[in-house]
Amino acid sequence: MDWRLVGERLIRSGELLLSLDFLEGYDYELSLLNDGEVGRLFKITDRYIVFLAVVRFSMPYRQLEGFTRALSRLIPRLITIDYSWVRRRMLDLSPYESLSGYDGPVAIAVDSSGVSVHKCGGWVERIYGGRKRYVKIHFAVDVKIKEILAMDVTTNDIHDSEALPSLITNASRHRLISEAYVDGAYDSIKSYRLLRRMGVKPIIKPRKNARTDRGPPERRFSVITFKELGEKMWGRLMGYGGRWAAETAFSTFKRLYGEHSMSKNMGTITKELSAKAYIYNMLINLQS
């Protein structure tokens, strides 16, 4: 890993927090948004919303409204924005608009992680001791640059393998996927057939009780090799270390935003996490 580049990206993330580049062509962008618009016109541009989204994850929404008030005094063309209005616009951000310009084949790592939900049943848990509630975020991550190519948000009762088809399909819309590194939770004949059908080389850690006489040739070869050589040598032969890209992405994502969501239902939880993924991808794509 190039630690100089990593350090430079962290430094650039501080520049991004107060970058006023969105002011360039602000009036023109606003005119394009309102061209042919029927009803209430846009008063702020999408790039201004992105700027506020970066700032937002350092402060609550109400403080963000105060931030826009102070910014309006410095730059009169920027109006003060109600915090609820900012929130609605931010939740419409797509996580995939900040992708790098590379269009060649990439290897991806797929995994999931839990996120606690503060407002969804939290009061019941505290008062009555009910079961802890959380959601799962599923990532398909570019192994090389740790960019999120696809994500899905599900309840905690959805098995990881059930999210794999949509992750692979969505990631394929943005990149040509050559290989997929996934752990034993996805080890099934269905997963191998899905990846083969989509032209993706499966690198899936076999389960310990996996049989050598079942499934496609790739799975049988992987299971035989795993049992004969052991986990460590199998991992080296298959390049399984690439799967840690997903672990790195989750670690970075949670350091940025914490391990919780403040929204109340699955629709807004998904939008909130998608907006966070948008900012994550922006930071990942900062170049030295």
* Per-domain residue ranges of the chain: 3-90, 105-264
User: pLDDT (tens digit, 9 = 90+) per residue, 87-104?
Assistant: 888 888 877 777 777 778
- Extract the tokens encoding 185: 């939770």
In this structure, of 3-7, 47-51, 59-63, the range with the lowest mean pLDDT score is: 3-7
* The pLDDT of residue 179: 94
When pLDDT is averaged across residues 95-121 and rounded to a whole number, the result is 80
In this structure, of 10-19, 55-64, 104-113, 201-210, the range with the lowest mean pLDDT score is: 10-19
84 within 8 A of 267, measured Cβ to Cβ: no
Q: Other CB atoms closer than 10 Å to residue 40's CB: what's the count?
A: 7
What residues form DSSP beta bridges with 177? 106
pLDDT at 25 over 50: yes
User: pLDDT (tens digit, 9 = 90+) per residue, 129-153?
Assistant: 555 567 899 999 999 988 999 999 9
One CATH from 1.10.760, 3.30.1380, 3.30.420, 1.10.1200 for 105-264: 3.30.420
What is the DSSP code (8-state) at residue 185?
A: G
Q: Quick one: three-class SS letters along 93-130?
A: CCCCCCCCCCCCEEEEEEEEEEEEECCCCHHHHHHHCC
* The pLDDT of residue 104: 85
* The pLDDT of residue 145: 87
User: pLDDT (tens digit, 9 = 90+) per residue, 166-225?
Assistant: 999 999 988 999 999 999 889 988 999 999 999 999 999 998 888 888 888 889 999 999
User: pLDDT (tens digit, 9 = 90+) per residue, 235-269?
Assistant: 999 999 889 999 989 988 888 888 878 777 788 88
CA atoms within 13 A of residue 201's CA, in its CB half-sphere: 11
Q: How far apart are the first and last CA of the chain?
A: 14
Exposure class string for 101-137: b at 16+ Cβ within 10 A, else e: eeeeebbbbbbbbebebeebebeeeeeeeeeeebbbb
116 within 8 A of 260, measured Cβ to Cβ: yes
User: pLDDT (tens digit, 9 = 90+) per residue, 42-55?
Assistant: 888 888 888 888 78
When pLDDT is averaged across residues 63-69 and rounded to a whole number, the result is 89
What residues form DSSP beta bridges with 108? 142, 180
Band of the pLDDT at 83, cuts 50, 70, 90? Answer: confident
* The pLDDT of residue 9: 61
